[in-house]
Amino acid sequence: MTSEAKAIYIVDDDPAVRDALSVVFNLEGFVVETFSDGDTFVQSASKTHPACVILDVHMPGRSGIDILKTLNAENYPAPIFIISGQGDIPMAVEAIRNGAFDFIEKPFTADKVVERINQGIEAVKRTSSDEMPMNFSGADLLTRRESEVLKEITDGSSNKEVGRKLGISPRTVEVHRARIMEKLGARNAADLVRIVLGRA
């Protein structure tokens, strides 16, 4: 299994999107590989790990959600960003639940995508270098990303601050927060803190 530091995989069945994103990321110094369908991408993604993946949620054949499940995205070493249109928010939420790192809403600007991708890559590097053990009842129910979000929340960070620190959008933080509360049976942030401190 090899890992490519500056490689980015773009998976989209729309050639115009693939071409536009390729140009943008080539100019930023990334090595870009594009895929027009999920199957070809999954074969490559299991052999090499890029720095980041940009995946369209609507794909013919294998959908973005199917791909996330196949890759076990929660444990995939590179952040996977989902591209979704305005009407796809429920699907984007579903993608986050299946391990997507974050989602980028269409229409987007080149600058915005580059900024989000760079933040995501940096955040993943940072968080994997300072793994912290979570020792409380229910900790084993949380995914790695949920544990990171929970740590920030219990440190007193707002959704916006958590998003900035972890390189994800505040809306994605909300999705994780709701999942964490559901899994741990917490009614509010104070409950969460008590659970984490073992006082619940």
Q: Specify the CATH number of the domain 131-200.
A: 1.10.10.10
Size of the chain in residues: 200
- Cα Rg, the chain, nearest whole Å: 17
23: nearest Cα among 119, 134, 114: 114
Domain limits, CATH 1.10.10.10, in the chain: 131-200
Distance CA 20, CA 59 (A): 18
For 120, residues 6+ apart whose C-beta sits below 8 A from its C-beta are 52, 79, 81, 101, 102, 167, 168
Give burial (CB, 10 Å; 0-12/13-18/19+) of 152. Answer: buried
Distance CA 168, CA 101 (A): 7
Rounded to two decimals, the pTM is 0.76
Distance CA 27, CA 158 (A): 34
CATH topology for the 1-129 domain: Rossmann fold (3.40.50)
Kindly provide the residue ranges of all beta strands, DSSP E only, lying in the chain, ordered along the sequence: 2-3, 7-11, 31-35, 48-49, 52-56, 80-84, 102-105
Per-residue pLDDT tens digits of the chain, which is 200 residues long: 455 568 999 999 999 999 999 999 999 999 999 999 988 898 888 788 889 999 998 887 888 899 999 988 888 888 999 988 766 778 878 888 899 999 888 888 889 899 989 988 888 777 665 555 567 778 888 888 888 888 888 888 888 998 888 888 888 999 999 999 899 988 887 787 788 777 65
Token readout for 75 is: 């444990």
- On whether the CB atoms of residues 176 and 93 are closer than 8 A, the answer is no
99: nearest Cα among 87, 85, 81: 81
Domain limits, CATH 3.40.50.2300, in the chain: 1-129
Distance CA 111, CA 114 (A): 5
